[in-house]
Structure 1
Amino acid sequence: MSDPANVHGSAVRIGDLGILIRGPARSGKSSLALSTLRRCAALGLDAVLVADDRILIVRDGDTTLHMSAPATLAGLIEISGIGILREPCAASAALGLVVDLVDPAIIDRLPEPRTTTILGLPIRQVDLPARDASFGADILASVVLSPFADDV
């Protein structure tokens, strides 16, 4: 495995899909992570926090990236206006999707499939509206329930 990259964001795992959530400060990264966990639980999907605030990412071989929390942050999530809460967490997850939280006005209605490169590996990337955790959680649950239809 490679030396870890230390990335600012949040990360969850839904089933086998590890999702890295990135965005500027106060864009709703932790809110989206928590909303996704609660929405998936309501749908009967296996979902768990991987990390909040800082994510360690390591490359494992030619095709896989693994995400984990720094030991001091494992199982903790920050909720604005509330503080730090404890949340069950996974030791690690294979990174399969990167979500960037952006201004809704710049999101393409029907974007072409895109990737972003992390530690030299391409990872599927999508933009979701910042500060809209409920809608974003619905989308992430939908991605697991009905995978991308790139060939449509």
Structure 2
Amino acid sequence: MAPTNMHATAIVLGDRGVLIAGPSGSGKSSLALALVEKFRAGNRFARLVSDDQVFLSAHQGRLVCHAPSTIAGLVEVRGGGPIPVEHEAATTVDLLVRLVPAGAVERLPEDASELLLGCKVPRLMLAEREIAVATPALLALLGARFPA
């Protein structure tokens, strides 16, 4: 079965895969780059898998993603175009982050998940274009749910 193309950005943080989804201009690339930088600053492994478009497939009940070959190793810097970066070929998805309008983010949400290609993936909704707020929130969540 052919992989499904999703408008999203995927990264590896430590041993966890994070899929960041949202409309164009919502801050997917900026959030991904900020998270990778924070992890690396703490001497932890972090890399881009794919920016803006991600191929998804299901394998043994786990969601796996990889970059389309035409954009592998590239990240779009708004106003600067695509630039080459270190990247991983693929990752399993342990967390889905949906960037949404600020008014759609619940203050105290219950644990949520989303079904993607038959795989249940934990989901976190964060305000789009609020990288300074989203980065520490996501790092705290990863530390709480996925300790090092």
TM band (smaller chain)? over 0.9
Which residue number in structure 1 is paired with residue 113 of structure 2? Answer: 115
1:45-86 CA distance string (max 9 Å, x none): 21110100110111102x211110011111100011222111
The separation in 2 between residues aligned to 1:31 and 1:70, in whole angstroms, is: 20
Q: 1:143 aligns with which of 138, 141, 144?
A: 141
Which residue number in structure 2 is paired with residue 44 of structure 1? Answer: 43
**TM-score, with normalisation over the residues of structure 1?**
0.90
Which residue number in structure 2 is paired with residue 103 of structure 1? Answer: 101
Query: What is the CA-CA distance between 1:115 and the residue it aligns to?
Result: 0.8
Q: Which runs of 5+ in 2 are unaligned?
A: none
Percentage identity across paired residues of the two chains? 34
Query: What is the CA-CA distance between 1:139 and the residue it aligns to?
Result: 2.3
Query: What is the CA-CA distance between 1:29 and the residue it aligns to?
Result: 0.7
Read off the aligned partner of 1:137 and give its amino acid letter. T
The separation in 1 between residues aligned to 2:68 and 2:33, in whole angstroms, is: 18
Runs of 4+ in 1 over 3 A off after TM superposition: none
The separation in 1 between residues aligned to 2:44 and 2:107, in whole angstroms, is: 27
Number of residue pairs the alignment of both structures matches: 146
**TM-score, with normalisation over the residues of structure 2?**
0.92
Which residue number in structure 2 is paired with residue 77 of structure 1? Answer: 75
Which residue number in structure 1 is paired with residue 4 of structure 2? Answer: 5
Q: Which runs of 5+ in 1 are unaligned?
A: none
Query: What is the CA-CA distance between 1:146 and the residue it aligns to?
Result: 2.4
Read off the aligned partner of 1:7 and give its amino acid letter. M
> 124-133 vs 39-48, which deviates more?
39-48
> 41-50 vs 136-145, which deviates more?
136-145
Residue 134 (structure 1) aligned with residue 132 (structure 2) = yes
Residue 23 (structure 1) aligned with residue 22 (structure 2) = yes
Query: What is the CA-CA distance between 1:31 and the residue it aligns to?
Result: 0.8
Query: What is the CA-CA distance between 1:40 and the residue it aligns to?
Result: 1.3
Query: What is the CA-CA distance between 1:138 and the residue it aligns to?
Result: 1.8
**SS, match of residue 24 in structure 1:** coil
